[in-house]
């Protein structure tokens, strides 16, 4: 079988990596109709079966996805937009300045990637600006829970080698708000790709390069890294409000100590999570974000489709 990895594309034409070479393959019409709920039927990271049709290569089948990063398409919560699939490492990028760390946003993605069982590291970039007490508190909070937090500076080449190591031989995705430095990190880990990254970027009115399209780049270290356009908000596709608690590791660990086995840790008597948050045993900002995300998922419970795997 001719198996190829989708790097980028739109509509019906996609650039794929086939036997180490990049080539263009078309999406077979029949595949377009199989996924009515999906905005993009094929995404970077998908493995596809390639067939030769005349002089053209066509994608005849999308192989089962190990995991996926999706969000509700902008124009309606009921359609899924798959940003990427088959991700080994998610590098969740934030920065300490312009923009500053937004833990509400980070915690949405962390819960989602936990649900998808994607190993996730938090990158705190632009540390050359200095880390404020507030950011330090967040960083320590995440480390206390068990997340790996990598403090980087592209400007001063700090910990870029760590990112290179992580991305070697696997498929990683850089995700985060616009302007945190995702494309800059990609450039820094593999200077050979500097030109390519800039080619796909376009100048915005502010005079900055902004990534417009998710694209998987092959690296010289044998890995692939997905650069994504900055996202402002992250809706959580396919997550029920009742299961959110399972995807906050520190909350999940405490749940067996709650009085009620089905405790949702919002206002129940005898809740071990509320007690731990009050006593400062789990980071307060995380618990506050849990409550906020819980409320959003609860309010939107009729909008999102239930699990449709």
Ligand X SMILES: Nc1nc2c(ncn2[C@@H]2O[C@H](COP(=O)(O)OP(=O)(O)OP(=O)(O)O)[C@@H](O)[C@H]2O)c(=O)[nH]1
Q: Which residues bind ligand X (CB under 6 A)?
A: 125-126, 128-129, 153-155, 178-184, 208-211, 229-230
Q: C-beta of 51: minimal distance to ligand X in Å?
A: 35
Residue 136 or 144 having the CB closest to ligand X = 136
Concatenated DSSP letters of 173-195? EEEESTTSSHHHHHHHH-GGGHH
Give the CB-side neighbour count of residue 269, counting CA atoms within 13 A: 0
Q: C-beta of 17: minimal distance to ligand X in Å?
A: 22
Give the CB-side neighbour count of residue 227, counting CA atoms within 13 A: 30
Residue that has been written with the tokens 């206002």 in this structure: 267
- From CA 194, how far away is CA 183, in angstroms rounded? 9
CA dihedral 182, 205, 8, 167 (to 10 degrees): -10
Among residues 174, 273, 277, 282, the one that binds Zn ion under rule CB under 5 A: 273
Q: C-beta of 208: minimal distance to ligand X in Å?
A: 6
Window 205-224: contact mask with Mg ion (x via CB under 5 A): ------x-------------
Which of ligand X, Zn ion, Mg ion, none sits in contact with 71, Cβ below 5 to 8 A by type?
A: none
Residue 212 or 292 having the CB closest to Mg ion = 212
Q: C-beta of 231: minimal distance to Mg ion in Å?
A: 11
Which of Zn ion, Mg ion, ligand X, none sits in contact with 184, Cβ below 5 to 8 A by type?
A: ligand X
Residue 153 or 238 having the CB closest to ligand X = 153
CA dihedral 174, 118, 151, 195 (to 10 degrees): -20
Q: Is 271 in the site for Zn ion (CB under 5 A)?
A: yes
Looking only at the bridges linking them, the beta strands covering 89-95 and 119-125 are parallel
Q: Is 57 in the site for Zn ion (CB under 5 A)?
A: no
Q: Determine the interface stretch with Zn ion among 10-18, 167-175, 263-271, 293-301 (rule: CB under 5 A).
A: 263-271
Which of ligand X, Zn ion, Mg ion, none sits in contact with 178, Cβ below 5 to 8 A by type?
A: ligand X
Distance from the Cα of residue 280 to its chain's centroid: 29
Residue 93 or 166 having the CB closest to Mg ion = 93
* Interacting residues with Mg ion between 126 and 185 (CB under 5 A): 182-183
Q: Which of 138, 125, 142, 246 is nearest to 176 (CA)?
A: 125
Residue 141 or 176 having the CB closest to Mg ion = 176
Q: Take residue 61 and report the two structure tokens written for it.
A: 């089948």
Concatenated DSSP letters of 89-154? EEEEEEESSSSPP-HHHHHHHHHHHHHTT-EEEEEEE-GGG---HHHHHHHHHHHHHT--EEE-BT
- From CA 113, how far away is CA 90, in angstroms rounded? 8
Residue 120 or 255 having the CB closest to ligand X = 120
Cβ atoms of 77 and 37 closer than 8 Å: no
Q: Is 263 in the site for Zn ion (CB under 5 A)?
A: yes
Number of residues lying near Zn ion (CB under 5 A)? 5
Binding footprint of Zn ion on the chain (CB under 5 A): 258, 263, 265, 271, 273
Binding footprint of Mg ion on the chain (CB under 5 A): 182-183, 211
């Amino acid at each position: 079988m001719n198996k190829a990895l989708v790097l980028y594309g739109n509509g019906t034409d996609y650039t794929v990596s086939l036997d180490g070479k990049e080539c263009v393959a078309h999406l077979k019409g029949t595949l377009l109709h199989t996924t009515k709920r999906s905005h993009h039927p094929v995404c970077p990271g998908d493995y596809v079966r390639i067939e030769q049709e005349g002089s053209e290569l066509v994608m005849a089948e999308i192989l089962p996805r190990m995991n996926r990063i999706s969000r509700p398409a902008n124009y309606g919560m009921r359609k899924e937009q798959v940003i990427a699939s088959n991700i080994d490492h998610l590098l969740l990028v934030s920065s300490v300045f312009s923009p500053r760390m937004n833990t509400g946003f980070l915690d949405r993605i962390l819960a989602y990637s936990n649900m998808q069982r994607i190993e996730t590291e938090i990158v705190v970039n632009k540390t050359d600006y200095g880390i404020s007490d507030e950011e330090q508190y967040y960083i320590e909070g995440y480390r206390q829970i068990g997340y790996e937090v990598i403090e980087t500076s592209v400007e001063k080449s700090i910990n870029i080698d760590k990112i290179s190591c992580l991305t070697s031989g696997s498929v990683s995705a850089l995700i985060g708000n616009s302007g945190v430095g995702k494309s800059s990190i990609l450039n820094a880990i593999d200077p050979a790709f500097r030109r390519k990254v800039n080619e796909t970027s376009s100048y915005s009115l502010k005079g900055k390069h902004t990534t417009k399209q998710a694209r998987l780049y092959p690296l010289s270290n044998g890995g692939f890294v997905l650069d994504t356009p900055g996202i402002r908000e992250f809706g959580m596709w396919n997550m029920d409000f009742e299961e959110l608690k399972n995807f906050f590791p520190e909350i999940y660990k405490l749940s067996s100590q709650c009085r009620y086995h089905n405790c949702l840790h919002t206002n129940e008597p005898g809740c071990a999570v509320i007690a731990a948050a009050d006593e400062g045993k789990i980071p307060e900002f995380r618990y506050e974000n849990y409550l906020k995300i819980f409320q959003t998922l609860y309010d939107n419970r009729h909008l999102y489709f239930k699990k449709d795997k």
